[in-house]
Structure 1
Amino acid sequence: MRNIFFSLFFYIGFVGFAQELNCNLVVNARQTGNDNQTIFKTLEKQLTEFVNNTKWTNRTVAPQERIDCSMIITITEYSGESFQGTIQVQSSRPVFGSSFTTPVYNFNDRDFSFRYLEFQNLIFNPSQYESNLISVLTFHIYIMLGLDAETFATKGGETFFKQAQTILNYSQQENYKGWKLEDGLQSRFALIDNLLSPTFSAYREVMYRYHRLGLDIMSENPKKGKEEIASSLKLFDAMNSRRPNSFLLRTFFDAKSDEIEQIFTDGPNVNIASVKETLQNVAPMHSSKWANIKF
């Protein structure tokens, strides 16, 4: 498990402390029909270095504590310096006492357009707009940092979510999609608005209890861990009754549905009748997986 008491570490090849992310970033331009152009390879290399070599927090982080994540940028069309596409962002964290990792964040951002000139400097300013390319990437980086922190401490991601909100606020000055209320219920605006809203506070409580009090104790006490996971998922009932089929619920189960199915179809028996009912009510889009939970 990533040690919550971050230790001082000098990483050969870098000056200072290791950065927070271990990100596999891919730029896929096959849909453009010109995926061999050097500009896409340059973009991929520059973004990989930008994401992995930037210090995103004031924490001291050892290499083994870095967050494993991926960003897959799919370019669908481009003209000159203008690019249009999507970005799929995923992150995970290790489970204490095991060799397993658990998915934490899974978001397919379909409103991703930006301007890019080959070899341009990529600079992040926490309080000032630089470009939509930088804004979108850093917004998702701070969401990843926030959600990862939420799995270790109650509301541990607040500072990171506030930074994501700051990025959203100053990015609204441009006419790119995803930053405003009118951009829909599955936008960056909707995501950070929901994460910081008291209406959806149960989501953040589930993130902590599911991971820290559930998954992380399963190596020592599998039954107790499963019972805590089931209990935490029940918290979604009240949230779903207030806001049925909310965006946060969909993002949670997009990341977790396979894992939940596996947890409750293996290991020690626990009372699953009520949790199956909850799962059917709050995440009916995954009903085929819930049907596989038999005991």
Structure 2
Amino acid sequence: MRNIVLVLACFLSIATANSQELNALVTVNADQVQSTNKQVYSTLEIALTEFINQTEWTNKTVKPQERINCAFTIIVSNQSGNNFDASIQVQSTRPVFGSTYETPVLNINDGNFSFRYNEFDPLLYNATQFDSNLVSTIVFYVYTILGVDADTFALKGGQNYLKEAERVMLQAQQSGISGWQNQVGSQNRFELIDNFLSPKYATLRSIYYNFHRNGLDKFSSDLTNGKQQVELSVTQLEQLFNKDVGNYMIRVFLDAKSDEIVTIFTDGKESRNQQKMATVLQKIMPTQGNKWRKIE
């Protein structure tokens, strides 16, 4: 009987470990801060790493190799007691079928991230109310990572996760903190999740799916067709541009994918509509003109 209990305990332990969805690298950089207690930043880094990687965010059973590789980089610019002003960069990747390559999916830089943190306080997430801007911001981006990653495997496959990120945002709005508010012209957490879920920008989620599942994932079996699907997906960004000049979601997509696009289309034979794609890129993001000229 004792052996059976031990086997069951080991099995449950493995099942629990395998249900965690993220493999996150957390970095807290406080080089800009003059502080006598640098240890607090190391403590925060460890606490956030454990919080993100050891929390079960979904009801899915995830194998270790299926965990999403991601990074949270917090750059603290000011500290006053237990109040911190910072920015946070959130990045994620996903594997490409038939290769060892990890393609970037998200690369978001959020410059409006102020929070309170007492060293050694536990990081607790309450799904029914807003308690902490630190925790809510991290949870918001966790579900955004999960949602967009799932969208790259199935058309709108991340809907439930993105709705969960929206719920976090709606609760956090009660705090009055600006990063969560519906402010005209603000490229913040409200606008990010509102646009991902808006029918107006439904094309974006199709682009994420086609670029990855019908494009990159086909490179190993049919490179020509795979590149054409990537090319088509990028060209469809013009539809978003035509809805709103300076559309935030174009920036979200290209901040992660621009270098990869250049690499794909400067390696090998020119694809069918490469010139058209380059023209669209010049139009929708002229600030990256030097990059786009490489693929013209």
Superposed pair shares fold, TM > 0.5: yes
Q: Could you say what secondary structure the match of 1:127 adopts?
A: coil
Change over 3 Å in CA distance of 1:244–1:100 after alignment to 2: same
Alpha-carbon distance in 1 for matches of 2:295, 2:11: 47
Larger radius of gyration: 2
Deviation at 1:40? 1.1
User: Aligned to 2:293, which of 283, 291, 294?
Assistant: 291
Query: How high is the TM-score relative to the length of structure 2?
Result: 0.92
Q: In 2, Cα distance between the equivalents of 1:31 and 1:263? A: 37
Which of 277, 280, 289 is equivalent to 1:278?
Answer: 280
Consecutive unaligned residues in structure 2, runs of 5 or more: 1-9
Closer, same or farther in 2 for the Cα pair 1:262/1:274, shift >3 Å? same
Q: Which amino acid aligns with 1:240?
A: F
Task: Give, in whole Å, the separation in 1 of the partners of 2:51 and 2:293.
Answer: 43
RMSD: 1.8
Between Structure 1 and Structure 2, which shows a larger proportion of helix residues? 2
Measure, in 1, the Cα distance between the counterparts of 2:286 and 2:36.
38
Partner of 1:259: 260
Contact 1:11 1:18 in 2 (8 A): no
Deviations 1:203-254 (A, max 9, x none): 1000000000000000111111001111112222222111122000001111
Query: Residues 120-139 of structure 1: matches in 2 within 5 Å?
Result: 120-139=121-140
State the identity %.
Answer: 44
Written as runs of structure 1 = structure 2, the 5 A alignment for 1:193-208 is 193-208=194-209
AA in 2 matched with 1:45: I
Distance in 2 between residues matched to 1:127 and 1:266, nearest whole Å: 50
Do the aligned partners of 1:86 and 1:111 also contact (CA within 8 Å) in 2? yes
Deviations 1:143-176 (CA, angstroms, capped at 9, x unpaired): 1100100000000111011111100111111132
Paired position in structure 2 for 1:185:
186
Cα drift, residue 183 of structure 1 = 7.0
Amino acid in the other structure paired with 1:281: K
The corresponding residue for 1:68 is 69
Counterpart CA distance in 1 for 2:36 and 2:54 is 26
- State the Cα deviation string for residues 93-144 of structure 1 (Å, max 9, x = none): 0111111111001111111011111111211122321211001001011111
* C-alpha distance in structure 1 between counterparts of 2:180 and 2:266, whole Å: 40
Distance in 1 (CA, whole Å) between partners of 2:27 and 2:54 is 16
In structure 2, the CA distance between the partners of 1:10 and 1:288, relative to structure 1 (3 Å rule), is: farther
Q: Tell me which stretches of 4 or more aligned residues in structure 1 moved more than 3 Å.
A: 9-16
Residues in 2 aligned to 1:44 and 1:208: alpha-carbon distance in whole angstroms: 33
Distance 2:105 2:171 in 1: 27
Please say which of residues 168-177 and 152-161 is displaced more in the overlay.
Answer: 168-177
Question: How far 1:27 moved relative to its partner?
Answer: 0.7
- How far did 1:18 drift? 3.7
Q: How does 1:71-82 map to 2 (within 5 A)?
A: 71-82=72-83
2:5 is matched with which residue?
Answer: none
Deviating more after overlay: 119-128 vs 215-224: 119-128
The Cα of 1:11 is off from its aligned counterpart by 9.0
| Residues 177 and 183, structure 1, Cα contact 8 Å, conserved in 2 | no
- Aligned residue pairs total 286
SS in 1 for 2:180: coil
**What does the per-residue CA deviation read over 1:66-87, in whole Å, with 9 as the maximum and x for residues that have no partner?**
0000001111111111111111
Q: Which runs of 5+ in 1 are unaligned?
A: 1-8
Cα separation, partners in 2 of 1:121 and 1:183, compared to 1, 3 Å: farther
| CA positional deviation for 1:36 | 5.7
The offset of 1:267, in angstroms, is: 2.6
Deviation, 1:34, is: 2.6
Q: How does 1:33-52 map to 2 (within 5 A)?
A: 33-34=34-35, 37-52=38-53
Amino acid at match of 1:203: L
Residue identity opposite 1:173 in structure 2: Q
